[in-house]
Structure 1
């Protein structure tokens, strides 16, 4: 039975709380729908509900579901809306000929009638979600402004991922968030149920998964990058019974949301191995991980019992989830243990595999065939491309867009979920008040402006991009309130990427609608973040090689006031009107004022001016990954990178050396040299083996003037080198990369990162 009018939990809140939302209309003038419809045309009419307003339900729509709606309506208006075939006030119909696109709908509101016609049941449901967002309530009168909406989704897959292994969320929280996903037309919930830190689903054949694997001894306090790690000493865990899983799946289906379970393999298996150590390459003992990261102990690919175990697990999982797809992970599987495991090496030989990467492909392909035999398809993270893409597999591209591009070019379905753009565990502002998060930076604007169809794909290849998903990893989400702050309102931006036609997207318009929705989210007791209107900045180089600072806020009708002497800005401070040059070292502070009241947190940025500011920098090796601001200006802009390495100031070299030359423009006296080095071994960020500075007057002959080989601090290591004054035009800095991370260290065998920022010359 499909509940077209949402749940008792959500819809009663939505209807009743429209009273509160309407009170905010004096401040919020743009009501609107999220995600933005394909086409919406407003008119000057208003539909007003009355006791005689009846609901006519067309063929194919279960009228029993309207009972709940009437209960909610009665709580607000004091009367029920009669349901009958001949009612003329509100009409619901399914007509696939009139609405051609799956999940599409037409919503029409005039003074006399509201009608919703859907292509299918989902279409009618989504039409009702749009109607909910358009309702006005005043006293006990409910109205809807006249409009015609024609709408359908851009992508068939519109998803949110939630990790419940690192932190466990109870059923009521999951259902609360499913309600919100449905309201904003998200149709897939990717449930990450197993990982190194905990196994979260009941498997009756393997009871130790519940008694051992579902729990860890303690949990890390603070960030993984900290050294040494600190723990809380408290046993932590939990799991969902199969009956609870069934209830959540049914709950989601009633809201047209498909739940895709993820059972991780072959990596991220420590929790399972802690209960069944014979499934690992060494036989253990193993324990569920108490901190976050990647671990060498994975399922043994040479052990037949591994496949028997996973097949038996899936045999209990499949009846719980009717989804076409089953996610089998496939990501971050170190090959360290496989390389020394006799069983794995025998498997490679017996199966005529080239190496451990092809062994991973064998593992994935074998599990795919098993799931195919059960009538299911697999989805895996983009590492399933290793050793050859398993036939029929769908790639979920997370490390970047390359995996999705590669899959589409091979005519395999792909879902775009790149870490850089749509990870919800990352910071959403750079203010110091921001709660602890994963490390990256994905503000609302960055998510909203992400485009899943890349220019590398032809029109035909683009058809294989089935949708987009935002991922929430819960390492730093210890409570539902913390999780909600990370999820919302960024999931609303993801919803608009996934549903709205590219040509209809507009960030300014989205923000107008979002400000209205924020009031609703608050009344629904959602701990939604509200940092998106706070000051953001950008740095550029002026013609005179000065650093120019631009400030911006998206808050309507507001002004920015700033100071350059480190004092707190007030309405008497300088009013910002255009980018300005930084002419001296010091701290710029700024604040947004709406009328006479300061909005949000105060902005601060420190500047350190020196002789190399704005000068030309030549890099022998180019930075990699997300540690690159796009050009070399960030190395000489006077701003030091933060300890979170997410502000675009850090330059990262993966397995390669640093070699940079600064041209000062003319020969001059140099007596001070410096650079900042980032050292976080738990993040694969290693100090250089050797750091040297060299100077030259002609750019050809260089003289070494400083050398350093030890960097002791965990975090930022500032290098301050006082040298004998020398005449020079060019300064060259070299940093020898650690290369391959040595045995016994975190992610041994991987390439080390060398992160540097700000080449200081004085």
Structure 2
């Protein structure tokens, strides 16, 4: 059994012997580490365990933080107690951005649930939490300058399940907890589609629903009824809603919203959505996205958007989040090429690999299967960020696993959908390219099996996929 390290470090040298630890739980090993600041890549570190103890060298606090989590993964136990094997690890991330997205619009999830997700993602060296705060089903963020958005738009969830929203104190708590774990929170206000909830309080900004055959098919399969202007929507259909480009006051409204969002979330990115605006005229789409980009620019933040925004005019350096398949359609590939020409950077979230709400197999209780059918753990692992869309690796900002919550209403279901496939995304974001040294399936499945007992001790309710030889 190899060292149960996830994600796999850049360089690992193992040596005979082990350091005995006078502790009663694995994480108690962390205070033993002696930390020395050195020059090196951001978030990188060296972890040395030998007969003299544990030593960490890191260029920044994040590197030391990740080194300690690597140490915690190394800790084993035998009849004599806890120990750490002698190793010399030199490590740094492949990509600067390593994110997980949580959709809190389709189903509301508590601050405590979000905090636990932050903690567990940080242990796998993720450094960004993307919160999908608004959609057709709800507007989850309370704003002082527009309290009506949450007051009217957050009362329910898909299927009529309970709703909820986050106040300013909730946001401060989430942001602070993320910062303590070296994670940045990226807020998303989705537009011009996915905006039915906006129309509950601002009908003057909302176009009439566009009921395409695909919308009607989803209603037929999943229920939820036809979307009705002015009434909360609790179904699963997408692509029917839009803001009205010519609505008086829309740009001022967007400026007020994004200004307050920027004040609540101190990170460098504001995500403006831009996806699945199927009911929006193409000229109107560009006009509304341009309004949103100007609103984000006024805050001094970098705009991020789903890759469909390649059809609009985002500024150089903007971030495009690709959610198409590992093998892109020509339409999605063309949008990526247009974004590349405009100087865009990319976050990779291929739906048929690291959309964590996809079923593991046909028998999975929760989840959907529209992204090329169920996504096994192996399929979630066997892809490489640089091989998805034709862009230079230096223009790839990073990788983000996404959890949409149409079918995920509680924390146990959330955990079972996230774990273990989150580890696939962690390794794609941090480690070397697929096929390099330990970055291959057989090594991964063995190391993942070795991490299972630690997840059990932490109380994580993970899916015991038969693909993994769990210990």
Under a length normalisation based on structure 1, what TM-score does the superposition of the two structures give?
Answer: 0.55
User: Pairwise mapping of residues 205-284 of structure 1 onto structure 2 (< 5 A)?
Assistant: 205-216=145-156, 219-220=158-159, 234=160, 236-281=162-207
Following superposition, the deviation at residue 487 of structure 1 comes to 0.6
Select 1:164's aligned residue among 104, 108, 116: 104
Structure 2 CA distance for partners of 1:235 and 1:520, relative to 1, 3 Å: closer
- The DSSP-based 3-state class of the residue aligned with 1:237 is coil
How far does the alpha carbon of each residue in 1:217-239 deviate from its partner, in whole angstroms, 9 at most, with x for none? x743xxxxxxxxxxxxx563101
Secondary structure, aligned partner of 1:520:
helix
Q: Is the 8 A contact 1:408 1:465 kept in 2?
A: no
- 2:250 equivalent to 1:306: yes
CA contact (8 A) 2:196 2:241 kept: yes
For residue 376 of structure 2, what is the aligned residue in structure 1?
443
Q: Is the 8 A contact 1:448 1:497 kept in 2?
A: yes
Aligned match of 1:525: 459
- Out of 466, 471, 474, which is 2:402 matched to? 471
In the alignment, is residue 421 of structure 1 matched against residue 353 of structure 2? yes
Contact between 2:62 and 2:182, CA under 8 Å: does it hold in 1? yes
Distance 1:382 1:121, change over 3 A: same
CA drift of 1:409 comes to 4.9
Change (3 A) 1:190 1:456: closer
Conserved 8 A contact 2:241-2:279: no
Equivalences, count: 439
Structure 2 match to 1:174: 114
* 1:304 positional shift: 3.3
| 1:309–1:141 Cα change, 3 Å | same
Question: Which runs of no fewer than 5 residues in structure 1 stay unpaired?
Answer: 1-28, 51-72, 84-88, 221-233, 337-355, 534-553, 557-593, 595-762
2:214 aligned residue: none
Q: Deviations over 1:276-323 (max 9, x none)?
A: 212213598422211012243321111232222222122221111111
Q: Does 1:94 align with 2:37?
A: yes
Q: CA RMSD in A?
A: 2.5
Q: Please give the secondary structure, in 1, of the residue aligned with 2:46.
A: strand
- Alignment correspondent of 1:674: none
Cα drift, residue 189 of structure 1:
0.8
Cα deviation, residue 380, structure 1: 0.4
Given the superposition, is the C-alpha separation of residues 139 and 309 from structure 1 closer, same or farther in structure 2, using an over 3 Å criterion?
A: farther
> Is the counterpart of residue 358 in structure 1 residue 283 in structure 2?
yes
Instruction: Determine which of 320, 325, 335 is the counterpart of 2:264.
Output: 320
Structure 2 segments unaligned to the other structure (5+ residues): 210-227
Taking the TM superposition and a 5 Å limit, the aligned residue runs for 1:16-165 are 29-50=1-22, 90-96=33-39, 100-137=40-77, 141-165=81-105
Structure 1 position 106, deviation (Å): 0.3
Instruction: State the structure with bigger RCO (CA 8 A, min sep 6), 1 or 2.
Output: 2
* CA displacement at 1:436 relative to structure 2: 3.3
| 8 Å CA contact 2:381, 2:428 repeated in 1 | yes
Question: CA deviation digits over 1:248-287, x for unaligned, max 9?
Answer: 1110111111110001111111112112212213598422
Secondary structure, counterpart of 1:236 in structure 2: coil
Q: Normalized per residue, which structure has more strand?
A: 1
Q: 1:455/1:311 Cα in 2 relative to 1: closer, same or farther (>3 Å)?
A: closer
Among 442, 451, 471, which residue is 1:508 paired with?
Answer: 442
Partner-residue secondary structure (3-state), 1:493:
helix
Q: CA deviation at 1:437?
A: 1.7
- The corresponding residue for 1:378 is 303
C-alpha offsets along residues 456-505 of structure 1, whole Å, 9 cap, x if unaligned?
646xx321111111111100111111111111100011100110011230
CA contact (8 A) 1:429 1:531 kept: no
- Taking the aligned partners of 2:174 and 2:65, their CA distance within structure 1 comes to 19
8 Å CA contact retained: 1:184, 1:492: yes
What is the CA deviation profile of residues 697-733 of structure 1, one whole-angstrom value per residue up to 9, with x for unaligned ones? xxxxxxxxxxxxxxxxxxxxxxxxxxxxxxxxxxxxx
Pair 1:412-2:322 in alignment: no
Larger radius of gyration: 1
- Give 1:292's aligned residue: 236
TM-score (norm 2): 0.87
- Please report how far the alpha carbon of residue 46 of structure 1 lies from its aligned counterpart in structure 2 after TM superposition: 1.6
Q: Tell me, in whole angstroms, the C-alpha distance in 2 between the residues paired with 1:239 and 1:276.
A: 18
SS in 2 for 1:286: coil
Go from structure 1 to structure 2 and tell me whether the alpha carbon gap of 1:287 and 1:390 turns closer, same or farther (over 3 Å shift). Answer: farther
Larger fraction in helix: 2
SS in 1 for 2:385: coil
